[in-house]
Amino acid sequence: MTDENTTASAKAPRILLLYYSFSGQSRKVLEAAGEVFAQRGCEVVTAGIEFTDPRYAPRFAHFPMRRVWPDMLSVLKAQQNGETGEFRTPDTVRNGDYDLICIGSPTWWKAPAMPIRSFLQTDEARKLLDGKPFAVFTVCREYWQENYAEVCRLGEACGGRYTDEIHFTYPGDPLRSMLSLTSYLGSGRYRKRYLGLRLPPTNVQPDQLDRVRAFAGGLASRLFGRDK
């Protein structure tokens, strides 16, 4: 598999891996799924959405974040109000015809990240999804249901056919998981302790990637008859 496409045969099912990913977690999840799709003889195309809105994008242009809490809180009101923002997609989103669209959606304040929600309210999304099956891959620290439900609703409003979902939450109780995540976002490092508290691991874990691979294999078998 490459970032553009992997062709197994002229009649291979074409699968689009569409995502936004600041810290790399949604990308990591979809890449694991893409490996399985490619092994099953599917043509896999990856498409990362670029967040370009001048009101917010500069805060999300660098990893680690320069000021974690101010940067994270900068989108809180917009997220709560369901606002959209400017973004850019690669040509593969507009120029391809796909048999399955996999949407990788990180969670910002209980909702799909603004670039994902914004894309799903465009004519570009309607053209892509109309009549096509889609699956949702939700990455979240804790509250994944709201994210998943909104992506499903918007995808179906574009004419897409919801097929299945898989979601991932980070280990630990709400306080410790938040401290673990914010520590990572601000430093780019995993810490065992922060502010005197022992921290759980954060981000998508290896066993969760194994779940992704099994899920992708099930989709390939069910939708396209592509077994091992």
Q: Tokens standing for 154?
A: 């918007």
Q: How far apart are CA 35 and CA 32, in angstroms?
A: 5
Closest among 50, 42, 44 to 19, alpha carbons compared:
50
Structural domain tally of the chain?
A: 1
Closest among 118, 211, 101, 228 to 166, alpha carbons compared:
211
Q: Tokens standing for 21?
A: 């990913």
CB-neighbour burial class of residue 9 (10 A; exposed 0-12, middle 13-18, buried 19+): exposed
Please indicate, yes or no, if residue 46 is contained in any of the structural domains.
yes
Please indicate, yes or no, if residue 130 is contained in any of the structural domains.
yes
Q: Give the pLDDT confidence score for residue 186 in this predicted structure.
A: 87
- Residue 141 lies in domain: 14-171+205-224
Please indicate, yes or no, if residue 7 is contained in any of the structural domains.
no
Please indicate, yes or no, if residue 84 is contained in any of the structural domains.
yes
Please indicate, yes or no, if residue 34 is contained in any of the structural domains.
yes
Those residues with Cβ within 8 angstroms of residue 176's Cβ, 6 or more apart along the chain or in another chain: 197, 198, 199, 200
pTM here?
0.89
Please indicate, yes or no, if residue 138 is contained in any of the structural domains.
yes
Q: Give the pLDDT confidence score for residue 206 in this predicted structure.
A: 92
Q: What is the mean pLDDT of each run of 10 residues along the chain (228 residues)?
A: 48 95 92 96 96 94 90 94 95 94 94 96 97 95 90 97 93 85 87 84 90 95 86
- Supply the CATH number for residue 166's domain: 3.40.50.360
Q: Give the pLDDT confidence score for residue 119 in this predicted structure.
A: 97
Please indicate, yes or no, if residue 196 is contained in any of the structural domains.
no
Please indicate, yes or no, if residue 48 is contained in any of the structural domains.
yes
Q: Give the pLDDT confidence score for residue 6 in this predicted structure.
A: 44
